[in-house]
Structure 1
Amino acid sequence: MEKGVQKFIIKHPTLDDAQAITDMVALCDIEDIGEPDITLSDVLDMWSSIPIETDAWIAASATDEIIGYGFVEVTGANRMDTCVFVHPQFKNQGIGSLLLEKVEARAYVLAEGKEGKQKLMNQLSFTNTAARKLVEDRGYQFSRLYERMKIELEEQPNQYQLPEGITLKHFQPDHDEETLFTIYDETFQDSWGYTKKDFSTWISQKKGDGYDPSLWFLVWKDSKPAGFLMSRMQEDGLFIDLLGVKREYRKHGIGKALLLHTFGIAYQRNQKTILLYVDSDSLTNANRLYQSVGMRPHSQTAVYMKELN
């Protein structure tokens, strides 16, 4: 049940607020999709790539309870991303609107002096109709739907046999970083919303709290890199962060081999839950690949876009 109108203030968070923000966003997830979809490491990883003293905000009640949270992150040369959350018991009090105003004002500042059209992407639960109406009223347009896919492993997965000349190898720290980034940059040009990223920023973000090089893999065709997969262990399961295969090597089972190899390692570590997000209208039909290894849609995230220029 929603609480009566409460006094609250908007301010920037500190590191001490990370756990309380995680707990509050988890309540939002439970209301929207039935289970938490955030961990403390998710929040800390995000904060490692944004200055929270300028690019993140919380709404605090009169008793200093965190009842809202929002941030804006520069994710590419022409793209910024944001999410805004309001505690389920404190909705319809203007908290989401005020946080979104803060986000947008900061986004306009960050967009100043940049070339090309700057886009602000707002991600929210597809089932949250009130939030969708809020962003639509502020000029955002629906752009994309992402599916959260999931599998619960019941047995050790069978490995997929790769064609002759193609090998799967573990990522080597302090050696394979630039190779990995090059494959990522090439393969994700086929994905919606792609923008050019800086190598040093990208790799530092990927080596956050959940970094585990034993869960990163490269596939080689003779001496040439052909594909990659990056994953990490979370409190709620193994999360597949990125998977890409170069165009000329697609439809050879490389993506499937990477997935099943990762599933096998997760199973050996007694982690049976595998999670990922995929574009429902993926240009490479990635959702079909995930379904072929037994993953099924679990919930949906809507992406709304607003041009800042």
Structure 2
Amino acid sequence: MTNFCNPYPELVGARLWLPTEPFEFGWASPVGCNALRCTACGEPVRSEVLPDGERRRYACGCHRRDTVWSYRIGSESDDLAPAFTDWVCGGHPDFELPAVLDGVELNEAVGWDALVAETALRPPFDPPGVELHARWITRLYRLLGAERTALSGAMAGLLNAEDPHLVRAAYDFFTNERQAAGAELVAGAVARRREWLAKTPDPRRAPATLLSGAALLLHERLLVVDDAGAPVDGPALTLTKELALAGIGPGDTPLTFRDYDPDWLWAHSGALAAANAEWVETLVYASSWAPAAAREKILAEMAEAAPAEVRAAIE
């Protein structure tokens, strides 16, 4: 199997990462493609770092481009000029085990539980410029083939860790890979550990708690839907409702329920306004999707719970 840098292969400046290993495809942005070829002249695209230490020059037999930050080939609008599409990703071979990645030995005998716990706390390499959290483990997951399930299963085990840093690493991973095997265990783990999560500071977002971080992850999980557009994770939807009634959830929480269970939202808008006044403006906005006959009652219930906030949102 061959992997391609989809949808847009990237050129990157000298301060960003252009991998040297052939199997490293564009698994995140900005990760440079090292397998570019030109469809016009047929030559491979070569690159070099220029003396200023900031620009990287790419060239084939008919084109040359200097890049300081990143440039996604084919992503720009062609409204003003034709989009540059002559350079394409020529494909990257699979990452196959056994292998060594950044000094970490990976083979059939690898202990995935120990590996993810160690690299979550001390990643052996951080790709410069990539803004994802849990970068190294996410990169490994996206490079792997059949072993992905073992890795994501090990990450699911960290949902029950006593070390808050490991729990946060699991949340970050499943935020990046919300369809990975093990993501279906998030809701159950959060429900079981709700009290502990509520009193444990989030290592990355203090003074927020890990329960707040869990709520964000649960909302991300709801983006995984079936062919009818309904969330595949029923327990996650149920738990987000419970947390919302306690005032816990991201700023766009009302829009989640507008999209996935509007009848529940109309029935609980007043309670949500009382639970979290910061949601009122979004609740008022979301109410414009309610049946016309019900909207007046919905606004009245919200106004009873948070009169000043509703008045400000309407005005």
* TM-score, structure 2 normalization: 0.26
Larger relative helix fraction: 2
User: Could you say which structure has the higher strand fraction?
Assistant: 1
Normalising by structure 1, what TM-score?
0.26
Higher relative contact order (CA 8 A, sep 6+): 1
